[in-house]
Amino acid sequence: MASPQFHQLQVAAVRPLTTDSVAISFALPNELVAQFQFKPGQYLTLRATVNGQDVRRSYSICSHHKHRLEVGIKRVDHGLFSTYAQGLSIGSTVQVMVPQGNFTATVGRNNKYLLLAVGSGITPCLSIIKSVLADEPDSHITLAYGNRTASTIMFRADINDLKDKHTERFNVMHILSAERQEAACFNGRLNGEKIQLLQQLGLLDVHSCDAIYLCGPQTMIEEARAVLAGLGVSGGCVRSELFTSTGAPQASKPVQTQQTDKLPQGGSDVTIVLDGAERAVQVDSSKETVLTAARRAGFDLPFSCAGGMCATCRCKVIEGETSMDLNFSLADWEIEAGYTLACQTRPGSDKVTLDFDAI
């Protein structure tokens, strides 16, 4: 399978969402429509040179038409790419990688869905919500969405439109941390305590859900997972995607790691298989990850966040031992099957082979 490629796309529309966020639509020429087909919940990686730096960021696809894909971008303080993106206008061109990501829904069955989102974590959820409401006429969705104030709610008009159109099947709760609402249970942060309270009040029914999606900061995801496990919800129906407010990796403890007992002295010979070609690079595990070493050697590996969150750099360990510093995106089964994140991978044996073409 060919590695994901960047394509130069033109901005077709810019839609302000809040004072600090915009939705940007990219036009898809006929010849790229097939390559940019996506599953609800997937994201696009955008790439640009900003202040002389090669910057990449991933943004979830929140809306689409045959010849357009839209992403939502929230500006963050000192955020290189998000600030640059606020200045894009119709006709600007941006390098855009074909859709990626495993935080997806298989739309087509009749289900009860619960989505818990905070801030810009709404973007993949919105794509899932739209697809389910359009393609599963008997499915029901509950969305609990946390923000600071009503004015910072991204896609508020889109959410309201969907709610008006699907009153019987789409239930929305806005949880606001810095603005008082009449119903006290909707005030505060969307965290473990709040989820427990909403469940006790009967506003959520986690036991009846076929699928639960969590999308937001790490603390919210960890707390939600703990509360859901405490309520007896099977981990198998819970999916999560980490969203930071900064778009940068969080300094935090690893969620999951593979372990090796020893690091090879003097570096490892790492062979990288990409698009059917093999290239070799020396990686000193004590100093750098495979991605860092490969970039230093001039290899153009697929990556975006460089923080273990997006899985754009996912590849398979074909030979040797490796460990990961951080992993916020690979599921247990992927790790058991030998997949790793190149941006977090350090060799643990003298020879390692990583295959980016492995599906």
Interface with ligand FES (CB under 6 A): 303-306, 308-313, 329, 341, 343
Cα 280 to Cα 298: distance, rounded to the nearest angstrom: 11
Q: Which is nearer to ligand FES, 62 or 326 (CB)?
A: 326
Nearest distance, CB of residue 343 and ligand FES, angstroms: 3
CA atoms within 13 A on the CB side of 56: 18
Nearest distance, CB of residue 338 and ligand FES, angstroms: 16
Nearest distance, CB of residue 29 and ligand FES, angstroms: 27
Nearest distance, CB of residue 202 and ligand FES, angstroms: 38
Instruction: Report the relative pairing of strands 43-50 and 93-97 from DSSP bridges.
Output: antiparallel
Q: Which is nearer to ligand FES, 70 or 334 (CB)?
A: 334
Residue type, 61: I
Cα 16 to Cα 181: distance, rounded to the nearest angstrom: 25
329 near 240, Cβ under 8 Å?
A: no
Nearest distance, CB of residue 303 and ligand FES, angstroms: 4
Q: Which is nearer to ligand FES, 102 or 282 (CB)?
A: 102
Please provide the DSSP assignment of 323-344 as one string: EES--SS--HHHHHTTEEEGGG
Q: Which is nearer to ligand FES, 309 or 354 (CB)?
A: 309
Give the rounded distance of the alpha carbon of 80 from its chain centre. Answer: 19
Q: Which two tokens stand for residue 204?
A: 């959520």
Q: Is 157 left (phi over 0), alpha (psi -120 to 50) or beta?
A: alpha
Q: Which is nearer to ligand FES, 209 or 281 (CB)?
A: 281
Nearest distance, CB of residue 342 and ligand FES, angstroms: 6
CA atoms within 13 A on the CB side of 341: 24
Cα 146 to Cα 122: distance, rounded to the nearest angstrom: 9
| Length of the chain counted residue by residue | 359
Q: Which is nearer to ligand FES, 119 or 308 (CB)?
A: 308
Q: Which two tokens stand for residue 49?
A: 């040179």
DSSP strands (E only) in 85-207: 93-97, 112-118, 140-147, 170-176
Please provide the DSSP assignment of 10-69 as one string: EEEEEEEEETTEEEEEEE--GGGTTTT---TT-EEEEEEEETTEEEEEEEEEEEEETTEE
Residue type, 14: V
Nearest distance, CB of residue 217 and ligand FES, angstroms: 17
Neighbouring CB atoms inside 10 A of 335's CB total 17
Cα 355 to Cα 339: distance, rounded to the nearest angstrom: 9
Q: Which is nearer to ligand FES, 192 or 217 (CB)?
A: 217
Nearest distance, CB of residue 96 and ligand FES, angstroms: 16
Nearest distance, CB of residue 308 and ligand FES, angstroms: 5
Chain position whose Cβ is nearest to ligand FES:
343
